[in-house]
Amino acid sequence: MATIAFWKPYDVLSQFTDRSEPPRSTLADYIDMPGVWGAGRLDRDSEGLLLLSDDPRLRTTLTEPRHHVPRTYWAQVEGIPDEDALRSLRSGVVIKGTRTRRAKARRLATAPELPARSVPIRVRKSIPDCWIELELTEGRNRQVRRMTAAVGHPTLRLVRWSIGSITLAGLSPGSWRELEPSEVAVLGGESS
């Protein structure tokens, strides 16, 4: 069994093929390991940790909300969220008619140390921005972006820092590493 942690760069699709013209950057531009598939996705304009595995049971465990696998995101947002906005994120916001699960949300005291993005975010001199950390146990389409927008703080840059106990530590955009059997076991996969 093979499971890898990959730092998906900005503007890369979370799939191995693309039929558009001209073709866009995909996982195949970075990963040459047959048989592994993404356990979840990140939008093209999001960055960060993507786990890929050839273990279908592990992919199911990581992607089905009933397993409550936490995912930690760092979001650079427009404006400075006050405690009411953070409380709303924690208790869940309504997206497309359905309330999100409870989340952990906090404002980061300093910006995380991240490499510069290939395409800089838009900066407005009259509107400050800050970084928040969100921990979710579900993964709806564009959920973090929709949650921050719902509380009045659109996301400017989004990085997934961790899935369960696996983090981006030691990786750089476009790099990957194979997980140790003990790391896979903690995530709920087979350790052999």
Active centre residues (catalytic): 43
30 burial via Cβ count (<10 Å: 0-12, 13-18, 19+): middle
Nearest Cα to Cα of residue 81 among 143, 145, 142, 130: 130
Q: Rounded to whole angstroms, how far apart are CA atoms 148 and 185?
A: 33
Supply 164's token pair.
């369960």
Which long-range contacts link 56-60 to residues 24+ away (Cβ below 8 Å)? 57/188, 57/189, 57/190, 58/1, 58/3, 58/184, 58/187, 58/188, 58/189, 58/190
- 95, 105, 145, 36: CA torsion to nearest 10: -100
Which residues contact residue 83 at a Cβ distance below 8 angstroms, ignoring those fewer than 6 apart? none
Residue 21 is classified by DSSP as: S
DSSP lists the bridge partners of residue 105 as 134
